[in-house]
Structure 1
Amino acid sequence: MKEDPGYYDYWPYENRPKIQWPNGAKVAFWVAPNIEFYELNPPDNPFRKPWPQPSPALPGYTCRDWGNRVGHVRQMELLEKYGIRGSISLSTALCDHHPEIIEMCKERNWEFFSHGIYNTRYTYGMTEAQEREMIKDSIETIYKHTNQKCAGYLAPALSHSENTLDLFAEVGTELFGDEAGIYSCDLFHDDQPTPIHLRSGKKFASIPYSLEMNDTIAYLVQKITPRRYGKELKDNFDRLYAEGAENGTIMCIPTHNYQVSNAHRIKAYEEALEYITGHSDVWVTTGKEIAQYFLDNYYDMAMVDIKSKNKKYGNA
């Protein structure tokens, strides 16, 4: 039994080498809309049921359908208003079910990264070969419909195997070289990019994607009000902005069109976006741009510092 996942080393937050974002920005800020497709009657998975209701699970299905019909346009217009290009955590089946959404995002130069094929088909129980094929299908689909070489991955419904990160990096390299398969959003252990261990030895980073700032966690798990969620977004930014003056930090807002875009929630979200983007020393960017900047400029420095600190603390 492993004592930890083994993907990364202990690396204390204190006294790390300084990350300097472009133009002296204190915070790299990105928004990750999860644009997903949920099947009404997906194949059974013995490890997890997709719906709490018996079939047909119309309440859950139709709410998510509303997100793709109405909520997406509402959020897209809002992000465009504040100069934010979304980094889409994409259920790639959406390319066939809702190609019009893909076109709208392409017109705005949004990033597309893989969130699996359907958000109702989980990694749990897959063989390594099956998971590899699922990842390959999703990367190829993104390229076919967007001409983008998929850089990032978030496992469908946050379902993982011990091989997920290795497979994503390997398939990305096989298909498109070092431009694809370079970062993951599936680890929630830091406020800065961190190097990840892969069996291939490829340079690969974890990019902060906060579950605490995730609208689904806020509304369905924490059960907070829209006004409270908006305040949490601002408070989170304020702290990262203050610390970013010494060493660059990252803030991500993961969203779902069927959550944050509801008419009674969108105002608090907009106020937070206006507040964050109103600061001049914020890099408003995408997940891929953050990952590539870190890999190009700070990955090697981070590895040296991690090795030194672990030797110092007897963890080497």
Structure 2
Amino acid sequence: MKEDPGYYDYWPYFKRPKITWPNGAKLAFWLAPNIEFYELNPPPNPQRKPWPQATPAVAGYSIRDYGNRVGHQRQMALLDKYGIRGSISLSTALCDHHPEIISQCSERNWEFFSHGIYNTRYTYGMSEAQEREMIRDSIDTIHRHTGQKCAGYLAPALSHSDNTIDLFAEVGSELFGDDAGFYTCDLFHDDQPTPIHTRSGKEFVSVPYSLEMNDTIAYVVNKIEPRRYGQQLKDCFDRLYAEGSESGTVMCIPTHNYQVSCPHRMKAFEEALEYITGHSDVWVTTGREIAEYYREHYLASSKDAILNVQGGL
């Protein structure tokens, strides 16, 4: 990784041009279910082991299988209840392994964006040509199974390379033109969308995707209990909603159907969703719709504002 890959410019958070979301909303809220497929015995990667347990990693594999068998149905029903369309961070192998899940989400007009092919096959160690082919395969698979021109990308298991954003922008354009390949979730640097540099010059946006609100980070890394996670979601919303009075913000909850959808965790999650969607001036939307709206209404003025800031330094 380069010392500074140069994806974006420094741009102070306050005193930016004001963002107003559709219908005057202060906050754009999107929920990103990571619907993933893990292999029990994946090909080895010299830079990262897929499982912390010894092989065969039956415990790790089976809880993730639980997510696709049970947890997905539970989470999908909850999102239906609160009128939330998921933006699926999809391991595209799922299209072949569990096509029924793809059909259920397509029927609800959920968004599908690429999370690679398997969540046990990483970008680490790939050549640029290999990563390009992996990205192409994942975008093409989403289109063949859903008809959607994939707009967004999150590297499998967050295994981002120096080339990932450029390759995704280029492959999306090659396959489907400007309707595809124009936003990333792999950068965690802001609470508003921001312009991203690409070597092709394609217009490209970073859409906020929160690691801090990610259920795996909460439960596995930070080891907090469900009710604390639920309160954390509410606290995050309250701050972003208040700041959205000045300029529109984005809140994302990334979930995993083998984490938040376990029975003992669902109550706190539901209470948080009820709280968030119960507020006025919230645009309940998808990652793609946020990126499209920002690209159409604010991308050009944001680039100008950044140039003005740089000129004043």
> In the alignment, is residue 301 of structure 1 matched against residue 298 of structure 2?
no
Cα distance between partner residues in 2 of 1:213 and 1:50: 23
Aligned to 1:276: 276
How far does residue 5 in structure 1 lie from its aligned partner after superposition?
2.3
Deviations 1:136-192 (A, max 9, x none): 000000000000000000000000111000000000000000000010000000000
Amino acid at match of 2:60: G
How far does residue 4 in structure 1 lie from its aligned partner after superposition?
2.0
Aligned to 1:151: 151
Cα distance between partner residues in 2 of 1:4 and 1:248: 28
Q: Which runs of 4+ in 1 moved over 4 A?
A: none
Equivalent positions of 1:67-82 (< 5 A) are 67-82=67-82
SS at match of 2:113: strand
Equivalent positions of 1:201-220 (< 5 A) are 201-220=201-220
2:7–2:196 Cα contact (<8 Å) kept: yes
Aligned to 1:239: 239
Aligned to 2:253: 253
Amino acid at match of 1:110: W
2:2–2:162 Cα contact (<8 Å) kept: no
Equivalent positions of 1:127-142 (< 5 A) are 127-142=127-142
Amino acid at match of 1:250: V
Amino acid at match of 1:193: P
Deviations 1:241-263 (A, max 9, x none): 00001100000000000000000
Cα distance between partner residues in 2 of 1:14 and 1:269: 31
Cα distance between partner residues in 2 of 1:151 and 1:198: 15
Q: Which runs of 5+ in 1 are unaligned?
A: none
Number of residue pairs aligned between Structure 1 and Structure 2: 313
> In the alignment, is residue 118 of structure 1 matched against residue 118 of structure 2?
yes
SS at match of 2:218: helix
So what's the TM-score if we normalise by structure 2? 0.99
So what's the TM-score if we normalise by structure 1? 0.98
Cα distance between partner residues in 1 of 2:273 and 2:5: 34
Aligned to 1:288: 288
2:36–2:90 Cα contact (<8 Å) kept: yes
Aligned to 2:61: 61
Instruction: Give aligned-pair identity as a percent.
Output: 78
SS at match of 1:252: strand
SS at match of 1:296: helix
Amino acid at match of 2:62: T
Cα distance between partner residues in 1 of 2:290 and 2:46: 37
Cα distance between partner residues in 1 of 2:75 and 2:255: 9
Aligned to 1:180: 180
2:132–2:168 Cα contact (<8 Å) kept: yes
SS at match of 1:264: helix
Amino acid at match of 2:115: H
Amino acid at match of 1:255: T
SS at match of 1:200: coil
How far does residue 2 in structure 1 lie from its aligned partner after superposition?
4.1
Amino acid at match of 1:124: Y
